[in-house]
Amino acid sequence: MKRAAAVIGILAIAATACSGGGGAPGVPGSSGKDAAGGPVTIRWSAWGSAEDMKLYEPLVKEFESKNPNIKLKLEPVAKYEDYHPKLLTQLTSKTAPDVFFVGDDNIGKFVQAGVLTPLNDQLASADSKSKPEDFFDGVYGGAKKDGQIYGVPNDVNPEVLWFDKQALKDAGITENPAELYAAGQWTMPKYLEMSQKLVKSGRSGSLFWNWYGSTYSMIHGFGGKAWDGGKFTATTDPKSREALQTLAKGYQDKTFVSIDLLPASNGGNTQFLKHKAGFYAGGRWVIDILKKGGDKANYDIVPFPSPDGKPMSGAVAASYLAINKDTPHAKEAFQFFTNFVSKEGQITRMKGGGAVPSIKGAESVVLDGYPEHAQTLIDVRDNGFANYPEEVAVPGLTADINEHLMKVWQGKVPFDQGMTELQKLVEGKLG
């Protein structure tokens, strides 16, 4: 959960400006003025530190200058773990902001609670700057239910494998993973072969955070599925089970290392920069780590490997922008909402940032020359998946799965026993 909070926090922090524009006709709401005849105040919320919140100041200034009928009031919450409980309490007491962020591990319960505005009609309206088809279906995740959209990914972070050319070379590996991928030869057996060479050279194969992104990407890499037809199949599908068993064995022989368990003084970032691991699973946010570390040119990216070398669906971290179903200013709330997630808005607020646009047409901010194979981030986004709707619809289920798997990774629970218990845990939560 530390990793999820960090990544989603980066997604939110990446939003630093957006473009202005008119509201969408036909959207119910106020007249565009408050009770005293002045501008309408739209309250909106996000999570992050006081320093993080300063990054939103350009957004507020630009939007308000182009939309004098609206004043924006940001209501921040410092800690991610405090954010959603507070927001749910506000929604229950009818005191919640008009527009707010929701993390991908929480969006399902908000949809289930019926507190979010259905967005299909507004997004499809004539003046909408963010049409439903402008976003990739896989990244809607739990924000879409029965064809209705309740939240739009404000930006995303595809999970890829960053690799250290120096570490690979020092381990006697002469092949380049990105070049293998381009040739259709980046397979799970090849990746595991490289990992073994790295371990024999005294290094770790891969650094993973314990979250669904890397775990489920590995399952896909073996040709399995974590969820299928609304059922949890990670422990029952043979290929999925093989992936989990490979992870369990790898965590115990140091082929894989869980960053969650590393000391702060020698964490995943430090080990990767010191060439102690060949691969680091993460999103575009890793760029900031490499910038601070110095030798950026030594690193590149590749998708998670597939069984046969062909492109496959990988995990995509997301956070969502949603509108309070009970907002008294629906028209103005949507005006701010659609500008924030529009192509122009995302280009403006993501230049030089650590996220990837969620909307089609804004790819230029990613394809700025670094890393060499930055197109990979776009490819994974286009074909990727946010956390499964079935999983995020159950409060706390993702965290419970991660917590249980950590016991298996550490060898505290034997693998077969762990899989049986995990299946019972999930089925119990699903009811």
Q: DSSP readout, 198-214?
A: HHHTTSEEEEE-SSHHH
The pLDDT mean for the chain works out to: 90
Model's pTM, two decimal places? Answer: 0.89
Do 302 and 348 sit in the same domain of this protein? no
Do 151 and 176 sit in the same domain of this protein? no
Looking at per-residue confidence, does 15 or 226 come out higher? 226
Q: What is the mean pLDDT of residues 24-51?
A: 69
Read off the pLDDT of residues 219-251 as tens digits, 9 standing for 90 and up: 999 999 999 999 999 999 999 999 999 999 999
- Cβ burial of 371 (10 Å; 0-12, 13-18, 19+) is buried
Q: Angle CA(387)–CA(392)–CA(393) in degrees, nearest 5? A: 140
Distance CA 281, CA 217 (A): 10
Do 34 and 114 sit in the same domain of this protein? yes
Do 71 and 23 sit in the same domain of this protein? yes
Look at residue 352 in the predicted model and tell me its pLDDT. Answer: 67
Q: Is residue 416 part of a domain?
A: yes
- Domain span holding position 426: 160-314+394-430
- Identify the DSSP state of 129: S
- Cβ burial of 94 (10 Å; 0-12, 13-18, 19+) is exposed
Instruction: Indicate the number of domains in the chain.
Output: 2
Q: Is residue 268 part of a domain?
A: yes
Distance CA 422, CA 102 (A): 27
Read off the pLDDT of residues 188-222 as tens digits, 9 standing for 90 and up: 999 999 999 999 999 999 999 999 999 999 999 99
- The 3-state DSSP class for residue 331 equals helix
Q: Is the pLDDT of residue 172 over 70?
A: yes
Q: Is residue 175 part of a domain?
A: yes
Q: What is the mean pLDDT of residues 45-58?
A: 82
Place of tokens 């990727």: 384
Q: Is residue 90 part of a domain?
A: yes
Look at residue 20 in the predicted model and tell me its pLDDT. Answer: 38
Do 141 and 179 sit in the same domain of this protein? no
Do 143 and 278 sit in the same domain of this protein? no
Ramachandran assignment for 222, one of left (phi > 0), alpha (psi -120 to 50 degrees), beta (any other): alpha
The two three-digit tokens of residue 281, written as one number: 């699973």
Look at residue 345 in the predicted model and tell me its pLDDT. Answer: 84
Q: Angle CA(155)–CA(158)–CA(162) in degrees, nearest 5? A: 135
Q: Is residue 384 part of a domain?
A: no
Look at residue 38 in the predicted model and tell me its pLDDT. Answer: 81
Do 153 and 165 sit in the same domain of this protein? no
Cβ–Cβ under 8 Å, residues 398 and 392: yes
Do 348 and 261 sit in the same domain of this protein? no
Do 140 and 188 sit in the same domain of this protein? no
Q: What is the mean pLDDT of residues 313-326?
A: 96
Lowest model confidence (mean pLDDT) among 306-310, 321-325, 374-378, 394-398 = 394-398
Q: What is the mean pLDDT of residues 399-418?
A: 97
Look at residue 168 in the predicted model and tell me its pLDDT. Answer: 98
Lowest model confidence (mean pLDDT) among 156-170, 172-186, 358-372 = 358-372
Q: Is residue 388 part of a domain?
A: no
